[in-house]
Amino acid sequence: MSATTEAPPRPAAKEPPPPPAEPRRLPRWAWALIVIGVWILVWSVTKGQDTLAIAAREHTEVQDKLTDFRDSVLASRDTNPVIQFTYQLGEWFKSLVDWFQRMISIPDFPRPVPQIGWVGVTAVATWIGLAVAGWRIAILVAASFVTFGLFGYWSDSMDLLIVTFVAVAFAVLIGMPLAVLLGTTSRIGNSIINTILDIFQTMPTFVYLLPIVLFFGIGASAGVVCTLIYAMPPLIRIAGHGIRSVSGTTIEATDSAGQTRSQRLRKVQLPMARKTIVVGVNQTIMAALSMATIAAYVDSPGLGQPVLNSLFKNDVGGAFVPGMLIVVMAVMLDRSTTAASEASEKAARGGVDMRQRRIVLALTAIPVVVALWMSRYYTWAAEFPETELGPKLADKVNSFTDWFVDTFSTYTEWFKNVITDYLLNPMQDLLAESPWYVSALAILALALVLGGVRALIPTVICLWGLKFFGLWHDAMITLNMTLVGTVLVMILALVFGVLMARRKAVDLGLRPLLDAGQTIPPFVYLIPMLALFGPTRFTAIIAGVVYAAPVAIKLVADGVSGVSATTVEASRSTGATAWQEITKVQLPMAKGSLVLAANQGLLYMLSMAVIGGMVGAGALGYDVVLGFSRSEEWGKGAAAGISIVLLGIMVDRIARAAADKDEVTHNPAKRPWWRSAMG
C-alpha cells in the first residue's frame, strides 16, 4: 500500500490594503467662522477708519456725473430721437390707459359717468370668469368687484386693473417670443438670456422707477412701462422652461413626419407646454399687480395712491382699507388664472360637454347685455352708490391699532431693543465701521469659502461697483439690515417649515395663509408694521421679514417633507428622538432647500430696502427716495439704485454657488470632469 502524500496547504490570500484615509478637511462653516473671527480682530483696532461714509447731502464726482446725465437727457427732449421715441411711446400708453379709464372708471366728459357703469363692468367680468374658469370663479369675481365699490374705491380699483392688464398684455406680446427663443436656443444663448433675466429679477422694484421716469415721464405711462418691464421676466423664464421641457422623444417622433420648425413649435411644443405657460402668465399678473401698486409713487393711477397718501400721514386705517382691496384683487386674479388653466386642461382632455357649455354661456350673456344697457342709461347702475363701510372700517382699524399699541407697546419695544442691541447694531458696526478694504477682503474671503471661484468673481465686480458709485458705507448698512432680516426669516422658516413637514394638520392650516401672503404686494406689509414700531429701520426690517417669510417657509417645508420616508424610518428604528431626527437626518438632507430659502429670503429682504427707506430705514433706500424727491439728488439716487442691484447680484451669486457646491459635495457624479480628474 503506497503512502499518500497530502498537497501542501495553499498560502492564504492576502487582503488588499485598505484605501488611504482621506485627510480630514475643515467644513466650510468652520472656515467662515475663522474669517469672521479674523475680521472682528482687525475691526477692533481699526474701527471708524476709512469707512467711506459721506454726509446725507454730499455727492461724489460719479454721482454728479449721473445728475449731469439726467439734465442732458431732459434738455434734449426736443432734439434727441431716442428721447422723442420713448416719450411718444409713453404718450401712447397714457392715451390707451386714459381710454380704458373713460370707459369704466372715470367720467367721460361731457358724460358725467364712465361709458360703462359698475353694473355692466361687474356683469362682464363675472361672465368672463364663468367662461374661462367656471361658476366658483364667477362668484369670486362678482364678489370682488362689488367689494371694490362697497368700500368706496371703485375708480381706484378699476384704474389698478387697467394698468395691470395693459402691462400684462404687452408683457405677453413681447415676452412670449423671448420665451420661445429661450426654450429653443442653444446653451450659450440660453445662458445669456438667463443672465439678463437674473439681473432684472434681483433688481428691487423701486429701482426701476428712476430710469423709467427719466425716459417716459410720470403718470400712467411710467406705471405701465415699469410694470411691463418688471412683470416680463417670470413669463419668459417659466414659459421658456416649459417649451424646453417638452419630451425629446415626442419631438423626434413628430419631426420624422417631416414637420418644419414652425410647425413643431405651433403644433407640439406650445400645446404641450400650455400648462406651464399659464403658470408663467399667472406669475406675470401677480408681479404686475405688485409693481402697479408701487408705481403710485410716480403718480400712476390705482389703489396704490390712497395707500401711499395714508402712509405719508401715518393713517393706518386709511391705508388698511385700500391695502385690503389690493389683497382681494390679488387673490381674485391668482385664483382666476389658476382655475382657467385647470379648466382648459380639462376641456382639452374632453372632460367638458362643449355643447352644454356654449348653451350656458349664450343664456348667461343675455343678462350681461341687459346690465350693460342699464349701466349706460341709469345713474344708480353707472356710478357706485356711496357707502360708509370704508370710513367706518378705517376708524375701527385706527381704534384697534391704538389699543394694540398701547397694550403691547412694552413687548414690541422690548423685542425691537433686543434685536437692535444684540444683532442689528453689532453686525452694522462690523460691516459699516470697518475700513472699507477690510470689509471688502472679508466678504471676498467668505465668498471664496462658501461658493468658490464661481462666487468670488462676481463678488469682486460687485464690490468694485459699490466703491465706484460712492455709497460704500450706506451699502454696508443696507446689507446689514438685509442679513439681519434674513436671519429672522430663516428662524421662522425652520420652525414653521419643519412643523408643516412633520404635521399634516399644520400644513393644511398654514399653506393657504402662506399662499395668500405671497399674493400681497410688499407695500401693504408696511401698514401694520408702521403702526407697531413707528418710522424706524426696524419697521422696514420686520416688514421685509413678513414679506419674505412665506416663500422661505414653503421652501423649507417642501425640502424637509421631500426627505425619503425610508431614511426617516431607519433613523427611528435606531431609537433617534424627534429632535435628533430633525437635526441629524431631515435638515441635513434638505440642505439644498435651506440654502435656496436663505437665498430667496435675502433677495426678498433686499427688495424691501427702498420701500423701507420711506419709513425711516435710511441707507440706500433713503438715498433712492431722496433722488425721487429732489432733482439735484437724482445722481445720488441713481447710484443708490445701482448699488442695491449690485448687492442683490452679489448675495444671489454667493448663495447659488454655495448651493451648487453642496450638491457637488454630496453627489460626486455631478462634479465637473476637471475636478474629478484632480481628485
pLDDT digits (tens, 9 = 90+) for 357-405: 888 889 999 999 999 999 988 888 888 988 889 999 999 988 988 888 8
Check if the beta carbon of residue 153 is closer than 8 Å to that of residue 318: no
Helices (H), 435-536: 436-451, 453-468, 472-502, 504-519, 522-533
The per-residue pLDDT for range 580-628, each reduced to its tens digit, is 888 888 888 888 778 778 877 887 888 777 777 767 677 888 888 888 7
Confidence at residue 387, expressed as pLDDT on a 0 to 100 scale: 87
Q: Which residue has the cell 391705508?
A: 319
Per-domain residue ranges for the chain?
27-44+59-79+420-670
Calculated CA dihedral for residues 220, 222, 225, 228, nearest 10 degrees: -70
- Cα–Cα nearest to 286, from 517, 118, 510: 517
Check if the beta carbon of residue 431 is closer than 8 Å to that of residue 476: yes
pTM of the model: 0.79
Count the residues in the chain.
679
Confidence at residue 592, expressed as pLDDT on a 0 to 100 scale: 75
- Cα–Cα nearest to 47, from 462, 425, 573, 590: 425
- Cα–Cα nearest to 287, from 329, 228, 247: 228
Check if the beta carbon of residue 315 is closer than 8 Å to that of residue 530: no
18-23, long-range: CB within 8 Å, 24+ apart, which pairs? none
Residue 582 DSSP class: I
Task: Give me Rg for the CA atoms of the chain.
Answer: 29
**Residue 112, C-beta contacts closer than 8 angstroms, at least 6 positions apart:** none
Residue type for 469, please? Answer: F
- Cα–Cα nearest to 267, from 280, 279, 253, 283: 253
Angle in degrees, CA 367, 369, 375, rounded to 5:
100
CA distance 397 to 400: 5
Q: Which residue has the cell 407646454?
A: 273
Residue type for 245, please? Answer: S
CA distance 171 to 230: 9
Check if the beta carbon of residue 436 is closer than 8 Å to that of residue 47: no
Residue 420 DSSP class: I
Residue 581: HSE in the Cβ half-sphere, 13 Å Cα cutoff = 22
Residue type for 549, please? Answer: A
Confidence at residue 673, expressed as pLDDT on a 0 to 100 scale: 32
Return the CATH class of domain 27-44+59-79+420-670. mainly alpha
Check if the beta carbon of residue 245 is closer than 8 Å to that of residue 273: yes
Check if the beta carbon of residue 500 is closer than 8 Å to that of residue 281: no
Helices (H), 19-117: 28-46, 61-75, 81-104
Angle in degrees, CA 556, 558, 559, rounded to 5:
65
Confidence at residue 678, expressed as pLDDT on a 0 to 100 scale: 29
SS3 at position 491: helix
Residues of the chain with pLDDT under 70: 1-24, 186, 201-202, 204-205, 255, 257, 345, 347-353, 519, 521, 614, 616, 661-679
Confidence at residue 19, expressed as pLDDT on a 0 to 100 scale: 55
CA distance 305 to 284: 22
**Residue 600, C-beta contacts closer than 8 angstroms, at least 6 positions apart:** 548, 551, 552, 555
SS3 at position 176: helix
Confidence at residue 351, expressed as pLDDT on a 0 to 100 scale: 65
**Residue 265, C-beta contacts closer than 8 angstroms, at least 6 positions apart:** 180, 184, 243
CA distance 427 to 419: 11
Confidence at residue 125, expressed as pLDDT on a 0 to 100 scale: 94
CA distance 668 to 677: 12
**Residue 396, C-beta contacts closer than 8 angstroms, at least 6 positions apart:** 317
Q: Which residue has the cell 414652425?
A: 262
CA 522 to chain centre: 9
From residue 134, give the alpha-carbon distance in Å to each of 13, 246, 340, 364: 77, 29, 8, 12
**Residue 604, C-beta contacts closer than 8 angstroms, at least 6 positions apart:** 489, 544, 547, 548, 551, 552
Confidence at residue 670, expressed as pLDDT on a 0 to 100 scale: 44
CA distance 112 to 134: 35
